[in-house]
Structure 1
Amino acid sequence: MKYTQLGRTGLKVSRLVLGTMNFGPQTDEADSHAIMDAALGAGINFFDTANVYGWGENKGRTEEIIGSWFDQGGGRRDKTVLATKVYGNMSADADHVWPNHDRLSALNIRRAVEASLKRLRTDYIDVYQFHHIDRRTPFDEIWQAIDVLIQQGKILYAGSSNFPGYKIAQANEAAARRGMVGLVSEQCLYNLAERRAEMEVIPAAQEYGLGVIPWSPLHGGLLGGVLKKESEGKRRAAGRSADSLANTSVRAQVQAYEDLLDKHGLEPGETALAWLLTRPGVTGPIVGPRTAEQLESALRAVELELSPEVLAGLDEVFPGPGPSPEAFAW
């Protein structure tokens, strides 16, 4: 496994991030534990989760599965850089969504971190991430709450997820006024088929020293060889991938992508991950394996070197928007 610094921090993290969103809803506890063991064994030390994972009546379940894995000992917690998130409503009352159980008020941040620590069976969180912007809460209040948690030793760093570039700037300018480190990472939607983050989000992250952690690196399976799998009768596209492929221009683009990689003897999913690892500012993409086999495929991407010819071909098939303002002006 290869490692890098998380943004401008001294924290060393693996170039692949283990996403745990499938743990609970799609992968049972025993298999989830096996995947985490395999990931740690392969050198992946950066695990990402969120308090709402498990979803619906089972929200919080994913953190519980990770907590029971930590409880097995063997240095699991000490070897893991743990990131979780706060924002979604975690009210336990199914009949009424109570206020102050979501977003980024000082009250909810305090409540949410205590609940996450309990589910995760740990006394600290390495990277505590804001899952979404909160238009109602000023950053001074957010940073006051985070400062208290840092002083208490309950979190070490703060990160963002799904923030636009201007909010990254606002957040870190507000933190600087308080003499705080501010955001150290941004988790955003970024892949070959969805490159809008290159316009402002990634430049803002680089300017302020945030490590970029792309989620959905295969764009919901669209970049994982979906057409070849269909033709071989292995698996049909479903959900967002199926909706995208209903568009004939998107289908033609994906076909061109798969043809390019077939010409060079490359696997689509591994190539999509390897491409992200070449992008400026990227710490490492989040991989969310449902099985141990999917994890093995992701691990091969770290060692995959893409030739200039392949990189040029990928840019031709999936051209990025370019930086702003040139992307929309001159």
Structure 2
Amino acid sequence: MSFFHLRRAGKNRYINIILERGMRLHTESLPHQRLRGPGLSGGRRSCRKAENPPAFFAPLPLCVTRYVSVFKAAVKNELQKGKAAWKTMGPAKVDVPSPKDFLQKRSKPPKLPLSDKKTSKNDIRKPPVPLRSDHPIMGIQSGKNFINTNAADVIMGVAKKPKPIYVDRRTGDKHGLELSGLVPKYINKKDYGIIPEYICKRNEEVKKVQEEYDNYVQTKLKKAAMKRLSDEERDAVLQGLKKNWEEVHKEFQSLSVFIDSLPKKIRKQRLEAEMKQLEHDISVIEKHEVIYIANK
């Protein structure tokens, strides 16, 4: 059912209720109404019953049957389809505790099992002081000659080499010789002065790329370079121009002596322009023996 149908049904019902209530109030209050007429003396009040009520207050026929949409059930099902109990939060899925198992102190935190390992603070202490009754072992003597042993170790031992130093001042300012750079260190290596392999590889790659670029540039220059016209081609072009000039000149000689129309005048001007251009080209080629042709 649409909103318009619901509003219309509610409006009709509201009007019917108002009409019923008005008619009931009118029929109850009208017979007992006290009327004051002009013929009554002294302004006395009289009570009369209305035998015929006005037609305005006649009861209207009530609308017993009202419109009910055939889609009411479908709309109701559609509205209830997306609704469900506890859909947002969901029902509680925890066990309800019994009254006997009430909350006690320290009942929630888990109780850790007791450790079987025994520790004591006395383990890290030093050994105790000997007692008065304890006596050390006395009378032990060794036959080792420590003097001879030490002398033999000194004689057979390798002498300690002094650290190489250099003095740069007369007052005896000493520094280490190894890190000073005065002693040749790197020139004695086998690979001293040899270019590393990665640098050689890099140089080859750079050289290869440079060669490719140079070839590309040379190709572009050759395509854009001017071409020199050979002697045979120069003679052929020159003979062709002279032949064209002779043909145009022959056509020019065949014109009439008297030019009396506009087409004749235009034709004469065109032939003169062609002959002039051919003469200019012939003079340029004859003047220059070496001719270059630019590529477009």
TM-score range, shorter chain: under 0.3
TM-score normalised according to structure 1 size: 0.11
The structure whose residues are more often strand, as a share, is 1
Structure number, greater radius of gyration: 2
